[in-house]
Every structure is written in structure tokens, then in C-alpha cells.
Amino acid sequence: MTDESRKVPKGRLSRFGKIAKLAGGVAGGMIAEGARQARAGNRPSTRDLLLTPGNARRLTRQLSEMRGAAMKLGQILSMDGGDFLPRELADILATLRSGAYAMPADQLDQVLSESFGHDWRNKLSDFESKPFAAASIGQVHRLKSGNGRDAVLKVQYPGVAESIDSDVDNLVSLLRISGLLPAQIEIRPILEEVKEQLREEADYQNESRYLNAFVRALGDDDRFLLPRLIPSLTTERVMGMTFVPGEAIEAVLDEEQEERDRVMSLLIELFLVELFDLRLVQTDPNFANYRYNVDTGQVALLDFGASRRFKAAFTRGYLDLLKARVEGDRPGMAAAAEQVGYSLGEPGTRYQTLVLDFFDIILEPVVEDAPYDFGNSPIARIAAELGGEMQYFKDFWEIPPIDAAYIHRKIAGLFLLASRLGARVNVNALLKPWLED
């Protein structure tokens, strides 16, 4: 979270104005860079003019100021767009994952007054006005619950729920017009799903139900710490929960190899339970959704707004895909991928071979019944190379099925964390109970 506060633009016109200002700034930056390059005797491409450090700062600063769906879509594209966005743009958008501006005191007062009345300060004990976390949809404050326990209050930015559709449409239009989003990429099929997911994330009553579902499923597992909902402090735009102690998950880096391996094994096992037992997955890959309790070794789970339910046929297809990969069954992998919703084209074609090669590499950790060394894995490099080659098959290439996109987003986040921790995990052993069931 940045220490600076910025007012959240509320109305559609003001939010559109921010997008228009961003478009003007990007265009102006291109003109200035073009003139500078011309004076130096260079003839840069439009892509080089677009993806300058100045335009990168404009894009990330403006989306961070807007927050809401505009910022969230930027985060999603940075995670899911590696195979079709310019790598430079994906890297620019990745900076949006680190946090947002906090809203100023007058807007905070407005939101809490609408939820609890103008005397809200008398109702919220020991409320800390300065948030200790801020993200794309809301910010989080410390306080005390009615019985004196440490608690947190997640407060949604004003106007973000009402501007989801226009934010997404305006941002995609900007990326199209500016050339930052390649014209040949058709993302309309995924946009409505993204909008629906964002509407769910902006509904704190809905997130409350997801939180309660995870508490029922995992509350007795003492390896995890989960907050408990405080119904009296929860509305559609404000969510009260008990405080869960812990440090950033990256604190595990200070632990011995054995502990790093254990924590990462726990998170991968949790994902398998979510996908194959609960069919309810917290799909947001942000590291901030995990905390680590140094004293107990427990992992705290936070922020369930991006949770998603999956149909049994989809999870069965994904399990079949994993089983076929373990067995080295390429035709079985192709059949399972089609069941999940991928379009692979005709058997034996270069495109289908590329897609299966892609699944081969990203599922490599499940194959051997031995610890997989994520810290020295070539997966990211090889997957990027295959993704680059897929771009030459535009007549065949399609946006992945939306359910698969959310699952791969979560898997990518787990892979990045495992790499960061240098973890060694026997993924095959963790998966085996489901393969044998």
C-alpha cells in the first residue's frame, strides 16, 4: 500500500475522464518519445513508442488512483495475459498487484456513515483511521469488536461497484485504441465473466458467505488460521472480521529449507482440496492473501471475495488431465483438455502438439514421486517460449475457458510463490490420493 491518499473518482463521467486523461497522456508520451528518437536518427516502432517508462508510469499511476474494476482488470491481465499480451505490458500491469492508494478521510467518513450512521465513531471501538492495507476494491482498518477482541474492517471504495461495467469497457477500449492490446486478440468472451466476478468481489455479503464456507471446511484444521465473520459489522460495502495475526508469507524465506518446503506443500495441498473436494477455490493469486505465523507455523488465509465454484464435470476433466500427464498419455491429455473446454484442433497438427507441449511443461511437477525443485525450475522460461510460438497460430488460438483461466491464474500464483521460497515439494505424493480414488 502506498502511504499517499488519493480521492476515488466516483461517477461514471469522472472515471471516464480519468481514462480519457490516461489516453491523452499515453498519446502525448508517444509523440514526445517519437520526436526524441527522430532527433537521434532512430525510427522506432509504434510498440517501442507505446511501451516507454513514462507511459508505464502513467498507466499504473492512473489505474492505482482509479482503483476498482480498472485496477482489478489490470491485475487480471498481468496474470492471465502472458501468452498474448506484450511481455512489457504484462510486466507494467504486474506492478498493480502491490497495492493501491488509500482514500482520504472525507470519503472514508462517507462510506462508514452510509453503513453505520453519522455517529459511526461511537459504534466502532478503537477504530484506526489509517488503513494498514489497501487493494483494488477496498482498504482494511484495525479496531476492536464488541467483546473487545482485535478485529478488522474492510471498507469498500465509493463508486467502484457501480462502475464495474464502464470501467472494464473503457479500459479495454483504451488498450485497443492505443495498441497496447493487440488487435487480433478477441477477449470479449472473457469480459462478461470478468465483470460478473468483479461484481461478486464487490458484494461483501457474498464474500461473507464464502468466508463462512471455508471456515466450515477448514476451521478444524489447526494448520490454518481463518478470520471469523462479525455479522454486526458487515454490510454489502463493509465487512467486519476477527483479526488474524501473522506476517507476510514471504517471511517463510527466513526459515530453514524444511519449513519452506512444509509451508509450500501445505498451500499446494490446500489448492487440491479446494479444487477436487470442495469445488470452491479462492482464485486470487496475490501473495497478500496468505500470512505466516512465525510462532506457530500456521498459515493464515485472507480475502475470499475472488472465490469461485466449479462444476463437477470441470474438476473431473482437470483431474483426468493430471492423471494422463502422470501416465504420459498424450491422447488422454488431449481428450481431458477438450473436456475442460480447450479447443485443440485436429490430432497431429502442429498447434495441438504445441498445446500438449505446454501442458507437459506446466504439469511437470506432478510427474515424479519425488520433491520438485521450484527454485531451479525451467517451467516459466519454456512456457513463455511455447506461448510465443502459439501466437503464430492466430486462426486456431482462443482465449482459454474462463474456469480454466481462473485455475491457471491460481496455479501461476502458487508457482511464483514456490519459486520465491525456493521450495522443494513432492507434488505427485500430494496428488496421489485423488488419482487413486
* Residues near 220 by beta carbon (within 8 Å), at least 6 away in sequence: none
Q: What does the mean pLDDT of the chain come to?
A: 79
Q: Is residue 5 part of a domain?
A: no
Grid cell locating 184:
487480433
User: Both 322 and 391 in a single domain?
Assistant: yes
pLDDT in tens, 140-160: 999 998 888 999 999 988 877
The answer to whether residues 202 and 137 touch, using CB atoms and an 8 Å cutoff, is yes
The CA R_g of the chain, rounded to the nearest whole Å, is 23
* Whether the predicted pLDDT of 7 surpasses 60: no
pLDDT in tens, 284-310: 878 888 999 999 999 999 989 889 999
The answer to whether residues 164 and 195 touch, using CB atoms and an 8 Å cutoff, is yes
Three-state DSSP class for residue 229: strand
- Can you give the pLDDT at residue 50? 47
User: Both 321 and 391 in a single domain?
Assistant: yes
User: Both 234 and 355 in a single domain?
Assistant: no
| Catalytic member of 83, 284, 303, 320 | 284
Q: How much of the chain is helix, strand and coil, in % rounded to 5? A: 60, 10, 30
Q: How many domains does the chain have?
A: 3
> Can you tell me which residue has the cell 490446500?
270
* Whether the predicted pLDDT of 229 surpasses 80: yes
User: Both 237 and 118 in a single domain?
Assistant: yes
- Can you give the pLDDT at residue 60? 57
What's the pLDDT band for 255 if we cut at 50, 70, 90?
very high
| Lowest-pLDDT choice from 157-161, 177-181, 242-246, 433-437 | 177-181
Whether residue 284 lies in the annotated active site:
yes
> CA nearest 402: which of 114, 189, 208?
189
* Residues near 118 by beta carbon (within 8 Å), at least 6 away in sequence: none
User: Both 26 and 152 in a single domain?
Assistant: no
Determine how β-strand 280-282 pairs with β-strand 290-292.
unpaired
User: Both 350 and 254 in a single domain?
Assistant: yes
pTM of the model: 0.78
Q: Is residue 217 part of a domain?
A: yes
- Between 400 and 326, the more confident residue is 326
In percent, the amount of the chain with pLDDT more than 90 equals 43
d(CA 7, CA 9): 6
* Whether the predicted pLDDT of 120 surpasses 70: yes
